[in-house]
């Protein structure tokens, strides 16, 4: 009888330990989610380059090491849509397919900009079908220039490298509202999107 009580006490202790670890893990994930979705304060909202300003010429690289130039003049009517994402951002995973669909519908060139260690970014891309075939850029330069403090963040650049949209996004309706009034490229400009080379000079 005594050994049954001892086993029962050991089982309860183990269960308590598991529940404690689970609670801490859940609290951490809630904290990450709260941080990602927290509203931007007035100073953060005004930091970095704003809508209407031109981004400087930056040479970033894809996960495969290919150079991509941001800030160079583009073909007339051409737009670059940049979505800033991170592996530990749960909202990013929900927004990625929405942004990809909207970019395709409007003929915008889509580029993901990754925030995090390259091994984790590679795992993120490999595990998500909606990220396949879209370049994911690494490096912190663009995020620092634009002062991207929350994710996921959407930035739209026009043919002159001028910022047309810059905001945190988390719903389809919000993204549609940001893109409202921005004309899609003409058919001939849309046909050139796949032909434009972003190799660094």
The string of pLDDT tens digits covering residues 76-104 is: 999 999 999 999 999 999 999 999 999 99
Q: Measured between alpha carbons, how far is 60 from 12 in angstroms, rounded to an integer?
A: 54
The CATH architecture annotation of domain 49-195 reads: 3-Layer(aba) Sandwich (3.40)
Burial-class residue 40 by CB neighbours within 10 Å (0-12, 13-18, 19+): middle
User: 28, 6, 30, 10: which is closest to 18 by C-alpha?
Assistant: 10
Q: Band the pLDDT of 20: cuts 50, 70, 90.
A: confident
The domain limits of the chain are: 2-38, 49-195
What's the pTM value of the predicted model, to 2 decimals?
0.71
The string of pLDDT tens digits covering residues 140-176 is: 899 999 999 999 999 999 999 999 999 999 999 999 9
**In the prediction, which pLDDT does 198 show?**
42
Q: Please, what is the average pLDDT of the chain?
A: 82
> In which residue are the tokens 């595990």 written?
127
The answer, yes or no, to whether the previous bond of 152 is cis (omega within 30 of 0) is: yes
Q: How far is CA 80 from CA 89, 90, 164, 195, in A?
A: 22, 24, 10, 14
Return phi, psi of residue 40, to 5°. -85, 135
Q: Band the pLDDT of 184: cuts 50, 70, 90.
A: low
The string of pLDDT tens digits covering residues 108-129 is: 999 999 999 999 999 999 999 9
Contact 153, 86 (CB under 8 A): no
Contact 114, 47 (CB under 8 A): no
The top-scoring range by mean pLDDT among 2-16, 18-32, 129-143 is: 129-143
More confident residue, 184 or 146: 146
Share of the chain above pLDDT 90, in %: 64
The string of pLDDT tens digits covering residues 42-77 is: 334 445 799 999 999 999 999 999 999 999 999 999
């Amino acid at each position: 009888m005594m050994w049954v009580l001892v086993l029962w006490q050991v089982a309860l202790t183990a269960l308590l330990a598991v529940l404690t670890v689970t609670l801490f893990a859940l609290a951490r994930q809630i904290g990450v989610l709260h941080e990602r979705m927290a509203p931007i304060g007035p100073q953060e909202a005004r930091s970095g380059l704003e809508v209407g300003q031109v981004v400087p010429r930056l040479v970033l690289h894809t996960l495969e090491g290919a150079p991509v130039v941001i800030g160079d003049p583009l073909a007339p009517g051409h737009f670059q849509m940049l979505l800033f994402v991170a592996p530990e951002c749960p909202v990013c995973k929900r927004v990625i397919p929405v942004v990809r669909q909207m970019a395709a519908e409007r003929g915008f060139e889509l580029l993901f900009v990754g925030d995090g260690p390259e091994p984790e970014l590679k795992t993120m891309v490999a595990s998500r079908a909606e990220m396949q075939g879209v370049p994911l850029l690494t490096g912190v330069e663009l995020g620092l220039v634009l002062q991207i403090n929350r994710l996921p963040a959407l930035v739209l650049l026009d043919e002159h490298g001028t910022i047309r949209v810059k905001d945190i996004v988390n719903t389809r309706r919000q993204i549609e509202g940001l893109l409202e009034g921005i004309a899609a490229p003409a058919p001939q400009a849309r046909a050139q999107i796949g032909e434009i080379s972003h190799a660094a000079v």
